[in-house]
Amino acid sequence: MERFAAYIDANRERFRVELADLIRLPSVAAQNRNIAETAAFVAQRLQQLGAETRLLTADGGNPMVYATIGNGPRTLLIYDHYDVQPAEPLELWDSPPFELTERDGKLYGRGVADNKGNLMLRIQAIEAWLATQGELPINIIFAIEGEEETSSRTLPAICRDYADLLRADGCLWETGGVDLSERPTVTCGAKGIQYVELVARGASYDLHSSYATFVPNPAWRLTWALNTLKGPDGRVRIPGFYDRVRPPSAADLAALATIPSGDDDALLASFGLSEFLDGVRGIERLRRHLFEPTCTICGLISGYTGEGSKTVLPNEARAKIDFRLVPDMEPAEVLHQLRCHLDAEGFSDIEIIDLGGEHPARGPLDAAIVQAAVASAREVYGSEPILYPTMAGTGPIYPLCTALGTPVASGAGCGYHGARVHSPNENIRVADYWRAMQWMGSLIKHFAR
């Protein structure tokens, strides 16, 4: 595939401009910004490949860009998303978040790592294949959604309504790249999630703090409620929370044993920590990370939080919480358990706002798409890739893959440990972008076999 690599080298500047054009569209799903424009941009770029495209929608949600191209005995589904996280806090960015900026061998911009970089490089790699190798030896389906960063609210309905269009022999997931040790990684599943906002209310408006003698303070009320959710031992105290947790299988544990676990010190240094929670290290840290559910306070706000002092008794307090779920936990059941728990603890006055949920998913480790991802990574990177039974994060693998019987694997991506996904100064390394294109071309070749 020397001509394939040469084509990429010859078109680097154009490819970089295309990525910059995509980053320039601030497609923040949470703020409903530039969704239609970005979907149209992606569809047009796929049409330039010769793909047949259409927009799939359900329940009034953001459109999924659906495209098909190629012809072969196997069908590869490629899942990506064109929506991104909010860029705030803007003052922490060293360059404008929606202007692709290169410095020190890295490209900075909101969404460049999650997920517009992988989305664009995969399209560009297919262009390189068609220009140098001829017709694709497989059929490729693109499913590029616009709600991934808001829990893929309408994706399950799209998958039900258009199931026949989305079935495939394997799915290449949105993520991919190298780990802290620079070895490529392949993952075969994801945790689920249930995201909520808790709201405690007091007076109809903020009061002078002197009224704290007889007016209830919702900030204290919420603090006391949060204190019932999780203990100092790290265990979630909601009754029934762990009842459905499926223990890792023998295959999961065998894969876990092959994952390098000696990067504790490097991770601690990267995070600016002296030790991990409970002093956990090595294989036990990895086991927790991959196979245990969580309850995390993601944000707290109440009253005055600006510079200096303001003596105020707030009228409202809010907390955003996510529960990361493992097979066979149900998001709706966790939501119900939370309501029952707060009621039983005397906090029936606290409102729960459901901000979305996704089912956990874990696919087979011996599927053809997994073998292709591993073989192509080995070929391009010259090292044995690390196979993860699941990622610790969340994605809509269940409705798009598990429910339709499609095995899944990540790969052909430009991620790395320092990408700062969801944070200010999100970035990828330039060299990783071009090498991930090579990975994509090799994966097509191996999956066709």
Query: For 410-425, how does the pLDDT look when each residue is reduced to its tens digit (9 = 90+)?
Result: 999 999 999 999 999 9
pLDDT of the residue at 136: 98
Phi, psi (5° rounding) for residue 174?
A: -65, -30
Give the separation between CA 62 and CA 47, rounded to whole angstroms: 20
Is it the case that residue 262 has pLDDT exceeding 90? Answer: no
Percent of the chain topping pLDDT 70: 100
Residue with the two structure tokens 């294949």: 129
Residue with the two structure tokens 């095995």: 407
Is it the case that residue 229 has pLDDT exceeding 90? Answer: yes
pTM given for the model:
0.88
Give the separation between CA 270 and CA 30, rounded to whole angstroms: 29
E runs forming strands in 364-412 = 386-388, 391-394, 408-409
* 376 alpha-carbon distance from chain centroid: 23
pLDDT band at 339 (very low <50, low <70, confident <90, very high): very high
The 10s digit of each residue's pLDDT in 157-194 is: 999 999 999 999 999 999 999 998 899 999 999 999 99
Q: What CATH number does domain 192-245+292-358 carry, 1.10.3720.10, 3.30.428.10, 3.40.630.30, 3.30.70.360?
A: 3.30.70.360
pLDDT band at 133 (very low <50, low <70, confident <90, very high): very high
Give the separation between CA 95 and CA 92, rounded to whole angstroms: 9
pLDDT of the residue at 285: 95
Is it the case that residue 383 has pLDDT exceeding 80? Answer: yes
pLDDT of the residue at 13: 98
Is it the case that residue 367 has pLDDT exceeding 90? Answer: yes
- Are the CB atoms for 409 and 439 separated by under 8 Å? no
Degrees to nearest 5, angle at CA 123 with 122 and 126: 85
Question: Do 2-188+363-448 and 192-245+292-358 share a fold?
Answer: no
The domain spans of the chain are: 2-188+363-448, 192-245+292-358
Is it the case that residue 151 has pLDDT exceeding 90? Answer: no
pLDDT of the residue at 181: 87
The 10s digit of each residue's pLDDT in 349-359 is: 999 999 988 99
Provide the mean pLDDT of the chain: 96
pLDDT of the residue at 139: 98
Sign of the alpha-carbon torsion through 107, 110, 111, 116: negative
Is it the case that residue 215 has pLDDT exceeding 90? Answer: yes
Give the separation between CA 375 and CA 382, rounded to whole angstroms: 10
Give the separation between CA 91 and CA 13, rounded to whole angstroms: 29
CATH assignment of 2-188+363-448? 3.40.630.10
Sign of the alpha-carbon torsion through 24, 121, 48, 397: negative
Give the separation between CA 197 and CA 316, rounded to whole angstroms: 13
Give the H or E element holding residue 160.
helix 155-161
